[in-house]
Chain A
Amino acid sequence: MSVPRVFVTGATGFIGGWTVEAMRLSGRYEPVAAVRRWQTAVRIARFGVDMRHCDLLDRSALEQAMTGCEAVVHTAVGDDAVTIQGTRNVMEIARKLGIARVVHLSTISVYGKGEGVFAEDAPLDPGGTDYGVRKIEAEKIALEANCDAMKVIALRPTIVYGPFSSQWTVNFADRIAGGSWGTFGEKGAGTCNLVYVCDVVRAIFAALEADRGFGEAFNVNGPEAITWNSYFERLAHAMGLPPLQPVSAGKAQLKAKLMAPVRSFGKYILSNHRGFMVALLKSSGFAERAIRSVEGGLKRTPTPDQFALYGRKAFFPNDRANATLGYAPQTSVEHGVDLSVKWLKHNCII
């Protein structure tokens, strides 16, 4: 029996990379990985997979890369153009090529920043984050492309953590290992909605094989509703560190506000004067130590937006994905964190 060939966009990213790896290791699918920049393909190149150099905004190259595939997993995300026009290009070319199944990776950010329980029928919030607004538009394009000839399913993963997650695993491990991180009382008592990345891949596989749910979106959450404080504590424990100490949320928030202009200035300098920064770092040990110190401080200080997230009480139930796609998360937070820490240690990150 032939193995379905699946085109994966965003294949050099966190979830796309895992999708490619799991497909190859399990032998259930033959991944065809879209690669925009070779530099970012190191991770999936380890698996000797079929990598095709293309840009989602270059329709000709994209069509050539997608040719011969039977399904698409669309995880790529970027600026407005990549996220919106890129999604439109993927859907239109998939339709043109007769591709029968597309799984579109959306996000819970489409629900905005509010609190409460957000099932799939909750209204989407066009006033949320820039990322969420872009993803609303992309998800709309994807689901509107659903038709008899091409079945489209959208997935809305929650906080996806695990090996290779810069945002939700490496960043927190760095902060905790740096010694200046802790728990934040009520400010860290929001719902964390952690889902281990392999559970998201399981949901993707379920959507590739589902016989219903077409034209619909599904939340993809983990098995436990824990708080952010609890996540930080579990991560510290798995890292073999002493229990985290409570950090004054007031002081931390004040620090976050004070650091905001420094953060903005740093971003501006890195965007516009990177060469100068490199020369400065090289020219003076004092300058290097000072810049590294500021950089470390910024990394370990939550932004106001992050504080809002850690305190937010919002939950995204899986019931619909379970009933329709047969998706059920299998990785406990304890096991997922344990695997994450093993990966962090293997890579000398901690």
Chain B
Amino acid sequence: MTGEDTGKLVVVGCGAATERFYLPALSARPELASRVLFLDLDMARAAELGARIGAKAVSSLDQAATEGAVAAILATPHHLHHRQALAALDLGMHLLIEKPVTISAGEAREIADKGEATGRLVMVNNNRRLFPAFNAIHALVRSGELGQLTSGEFLDGSEFEWPTVTGFYLTSPEAKGVLLDRGAHTVDIMTWWLGDDLTISEALHDGFAGADATFHLTARTPNGAPIALKFSRLVKLPNSYELVFENGAIRGKIFSWDKYERRGPRGPWTTVSAPGFNPKAYNDFVFKMTDLFLDAVFAGAKAPLTVRDVIPSIALIEQAYAQAIPFSLPWYDEWKAKEQ
């Protein structure tokens, strides 16, 4: 698409995502080492991470542009993405933005519009879109072979183990909670498979005055089929999905990315292997997404996913937060009663 073969790349934000994902991904591309810059409010941290691959630290996007940056990876807290993305686009940079891309659909649209207006690529790290099984299911569902959806369920949860450096996930009200964090993947997969015309019929959260850690919602298709989604940062859930259609059903484990199960209207479940990129570790999908971005920017390859593709999921998440009411949690009642 772009073929910027001499410019530099700036990694914005030197927290856990950069250390865990982007640093290893970039270190696997030694030909880029002299063309990578690291940017963070904490310059020492930027210098430390940069030094690991012989890259330079910079103190601002402007300085990065002056140094020749034509592309940026935004790995900052997600409530900062909107402002930083617009600033980077103003400087003519192509972007790969960590998920969730923004905290509202309006912000995501603005980034998409600006990217298109300026002819700059804006990709998002919704890396589950690279799962072979999810691609196979997308093709199957969209083929119409299974008929209309009658019900669905996604269960996505585990204890929060993300090694956040600043704790912003938990301390910043704008960061919201588990729905925006895990939902950025799962709700995106749901809308990708089932369409962008889903609505929210029920949403429940446990964020008393802070970040929700449990979120249950029911989405509905235009014909009224319910899809239950449960998210948790407190406990491990089965991390599974099951969708029942008029002419059959599919189910699988979210992190079994190379296979899913399928049955006919009454038949037994059979395992379907999905061909394609099948690494041993989940992190490899982030490395792959980074490679795809670099190839798109520096070698003119086709981008697999842009910010516009994930706007329906961000819109649905935004709607869910707007509609959400607190769970009834009777184990807290005795303390709440004393407040009155």
Binding site for B on A (CB under 8 A): 21-22, 24-28, 35, 38-39, 41-43, 45-49, 51, 53, 162-163, 198, 278-279, 282-283, 339-340, 342-343, 346-349
Given A42-B160, A45-B170, do A26 and B339 touch, yes or no (CB 8 Å)? yes
A348 touches B237 (CB 8 A): yes
Q: Pick the contact of A38 from B170, B207, B212, B332 — CB < 8 Å? A: B170
Sample (26) of A-B pairs whose CB atoms are under 8 Å apart? A24-B208, A25-B208, A25-B338, A27-B338, A38-B164, A38-B167, A39-B159, A39-B160, A39-B161, A39-B163, A41-B170, A42-B159, A42-B211, A42-B233, A46-B177, A46-B209, A46-B213, A47-B209, A48-B208, A49-B210, A278-B281, A283-B280, A339-B331, A342-B331, A348-B230, A349-B235
- B327 contacts the other chain (CB 8 A): yes
- A21 to B338, alpha carbons, bound, how many Å? 13
- A340 to B234, alpha carbons, bound, how many Å? 15
Chain B 313-340 interface 0/1 with A at a Cβ cutoff of 8 Å (1 = within): 0000000000000010111101110110
- B287 contacts the other chain (CB 8 A): no
- A27 to B329, alpha carbons, bound, how many Å? 18
B125 partner residues in chain A, CB cutoff 8 A: none
Chain B 152-168 interface 0/1 with A at a Cβ cutoff of 8 Å (1 = within): 00010101111110010
A26 partner residues in chain B, CB cutoff 8 A: 335-336, 338-339
B177 partner residues in chain A, CB cutoff 8 A: 46
Shortest Cβ gap from A36 to chain B (Å): 11
B280 partner residues in chain A, CB cutoff 8 A: 279, 282-283
Shortest Cβ gap from B325 to chain A (Å): 15
- A283 to B281, alpha carbons, bound, how many Å? 10
- B214 contacts the other chain (CB 8 A): yes
The tally of residues in B whose CB lies under 8 Å from a CB in A reads 42
Given A46-B207, A348-B232, do A163 and B331 touch, yes or no (CB 8 Å)? yes
B230 touches A25 (CB 8 A): no
**Chain A at the B interface: mostly helix, strand, loop or mixed?**
helix
Given contacts A39-B163, A45-B210, A53-B167, 13 further A-B contacts (CB under 8 A): A24-B209, A25-B335, A25-B336, A25-B338, A42-B159, A42-B211, A46-B206, A46-B207, A46-B208, A48-B173, A49-B210, A283-B280, A347-B234
Q: Pick the contact of B167 from A28, A41, A43, A346 — CB < 8 Å? A: A41
B330 touches A42 (CB 8 A): no
A25 partner residues in chain B, CB cutoff 8 A: 208, 332, 335-336, 338-339
Shortest Cβ gap from B141 to chain A (Å): 25
A39 touches B213 (CB 8 A): no
- A279 to B284, alpha carbons, bound, how many Å? 13
- A38 to B233, alpha carbons, bound, how many Å? 13
A41 partner residues in chain B, CB cutoff 8 A: 167, 170
- B169 contacts the other chain (CB 8 A): yes
Nearest opposing residue in chain B for A45, CB measure: B170
A349 partner residues in chain B, CB cutoff 8 A: 235
- A346 to B170, alpha carbons, bound, how many Å? 22
Nearest opposing residue in chain B for A164, CB measure: B234
**Of residues 158 to 212 in B, which have CB atoms within 8 Å of A's CB atoms?**
159-164, 167, 169-171, 173, 177, 206-212
A42 touches B167 (CB 8 A): no
